[in-house]
């Protein structure tokens, strides 16, 4: 279909806008990924689509187009961690310490990285991976290698400079064919949206009020586990586990983040164990977070 018809569908205002069908969304995303249309039209559609806003059917159609362009490599007994691609700006990453805590528990962590995307000027997964040694149970996939067409849209997205619908559909790519997945959400209304989009793609999908939109818990928050149409909510408070880590509110550098990983405080190590316990619970290796946390000691 002529791509302008898609721009018209999302860019004419509340009275003129309309939702795309699954097939239209799939075609739209195929044209964007192939960059068979001018970059100005791509940017215009992405802006209008987010403001319309997007529907579950549109997201699912777009994901179907993405699936056709992703080279997958199965990692058995794994959980996919869905991180935002604009990075973390105020706190270090904790996944390397979580992976270390899980080494003896037969669980692989799957992470995906790429160049920084809009809109936060944070430290990315790729920045961290470049500067550390990974444990054997950490599996990193660079999007430039397994989903080059989305990687190639980095320049367009950075010129737009705003969050787009890609920010939602790119966090969980299914690259490792993991049965389990977890991603971060900022607000509770997004839980239902992610559940509708992704629940059929994983045996167990979990959402968490993670630090800076990541699947990393740094303070008291909620964990949601999706089972079909049911969403089970858990409240997790690090203080209940005698963890008193104080998260940062100031911007940190890459070196600051690496220093905390290379020389972690006792509280940071305990926080890593709590995150590891959450992942063990999600992957059904233990009946509760408390039981999993105890097993890590």
The tens digit of pLDDT for each residue in 80-108 reads 999 999 999 999 999 999 999 999 999 99
Q: Give Rg (Cα) of the chain.
A: 19
**What does the pLDDT read at residue 227?**
85
Q: How many CA atoms does the CB half-sphere of 193 hold within 13 Å?
A: 16
**What does the pLDDT read at residue 255?**
95
Res. 172 pLDDT band, cuts 50 70 90? very high
User: What is residue 110's three-state secondary structure?
Assistant: strand
**What does the pLDDT read at residue 188?**
79
**What does the pLDDT read at residue 297?**
83
How far is residue 81's CA from residue 206's CA, in Å, rounded to a whole number?
10
Rounded to an integer, the average pLDDT of 160-176 is 95
Count of other CB atoms within 10 angstroms of residue 230: 9
Domain ranges of the chain: 3-67, 78-295
**What does the pLDDT read at residue 280?**
98
Question: Which residues are bridge partners to 200 per DSSP?
Answer: none
Count of other CB atoms within 10 angstroms of residue 231: 15
Rounded to an integer, the average pLDDT of 267-272 is 97
Q: Match 């971060």 to its residue by tokens.
A: 184
Phi-psi region of 222 (alpha: psi -120 to 50; beta: other; left: phi over 0): beta
User: What is residue 222's three-state secondary structure?
Assistant: strand
Res. 247 pLDDT band, cuts 50 70 90? confident
Same fold, 3-67 and 78-295: no
**What does the pLDDT read at residue 60?**
96
Res. 168 pLDDT band, cuts 50 70 90? very high
Count of other CB atoms within 10 angstroms of residue 249: 7
DSSP state for residue 103 in the 8-state scheme? G
**What does the pLDDT read at residue 205?**
97
Rounded to an integer, the average pLDDT of 243-259 is 92
- Judge: domain 78-295, CATH 3.30.413.10: no
pLDDT at 184 over 90: yes
pLDDT at 229 over 90: no
**What does the pLDDT read at residue 289?**
98
How far is residue 182's CA from residue 236's CA, in Å, rounded to a whole number?
15
**What does the pLDDT read at residue 132?**
95
How far is residue 72's CA from residue 174's CA, in Å, rounded to a whole number?
8
**What does the pLDDT read at residue 235?**
97
Which one, of 200, 167, 201, 22, lies nearest residue 86 by Cα? 167
Count of other CB atoms within 10 angstroms of residue 98: 26
Considering the segment(s) 3-67 as one domain, its CATH architecture is Up-down Bundle (1.20)
Give whole-number Cα distances, 256 to 84, 112, 123, 165, 205, in Å: 20, 22, 11, 31, 32
pLDDT at 140 over 90: yes
Say if CB 180 and CB 78 are below 8 A apart: yes
Count of other CB atoms within 10 angstroms of residue 30: 18
Say if CB 183 and CB 207 are below 8 A apart: yes
Question: Which residues are bridge partners to 112 per DSSP?
Answer: 141
**What does the pLDDT read at residue 118?**
94
DSSP state for residue 200 in the 8-state scheme? G
pTM of the model: 0.95
Q: Is 26 exposed, middle or buried (0-12, 13-18, 19+ CB in 10 A)?
A: buried
How far is residue 202's CA from residue 197's CA, in Å, rounded to a whole number?
11
């Amino acid at each position: 279909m002529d791509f302008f018809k898609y721009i018209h569908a999302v860019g004419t205002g509340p009275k003129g806008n309309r939702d795309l069908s699954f097939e239209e969304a799939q075609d739209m995303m195929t044209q964007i990924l192939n960059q068979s249309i001018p970059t100005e039209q791509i940017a215009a559609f992405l802006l209008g689509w987010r403001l319309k806003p997007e529907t579950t059917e549109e997201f699912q159609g777009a994901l179907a187009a993405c699936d056709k362009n992703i080279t997958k490599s199965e990692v058995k007994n794994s959980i996919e961690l869905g991180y935002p691609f604009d990075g973390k700006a105020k706190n270090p990453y904790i996944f390397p310490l979580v992976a270390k805590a899980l080494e003896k528990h037969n669980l692989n962590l799957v992470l995906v990285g790429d160049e920084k995307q809009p809109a936060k000027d944070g430290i990315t997964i790729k920045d961290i991976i470049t500067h550390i040694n990974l444990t054997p149970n950490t599996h990193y996939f660079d999007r430039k290698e397994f989903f080059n067409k989305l990687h190639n849209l980095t320049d367009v997205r950075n010129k737009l400079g705003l969050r787009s619908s890609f920010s939602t559909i790119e966090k969980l790519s299914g690259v490792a064919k993991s049965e389990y997945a977890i991603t971060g959400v900022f607000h509770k209304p997004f839980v239902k949206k992610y559940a509708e989009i992704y629940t059929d793609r994983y045996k167990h999908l979990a959402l968490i009020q993670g630090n800076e939109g990541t699947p990393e818990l740094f303070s008291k928050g909620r964990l949601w586990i999706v089972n079909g149409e049911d969403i089970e909510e858990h409240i997790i408070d690090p203080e209940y586990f005698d963890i008193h880590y104080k998260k940062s509110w100031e911007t940190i550098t890459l070196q600051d983040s690496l220093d905390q990983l290379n020389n972690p405080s006792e509280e940071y190590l305990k926080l890593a164990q709590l995150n590891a316990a959450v992942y063990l619970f999600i992957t059904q290796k233990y009946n509760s977070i408390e039981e999993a946390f105890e097993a890590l000691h």
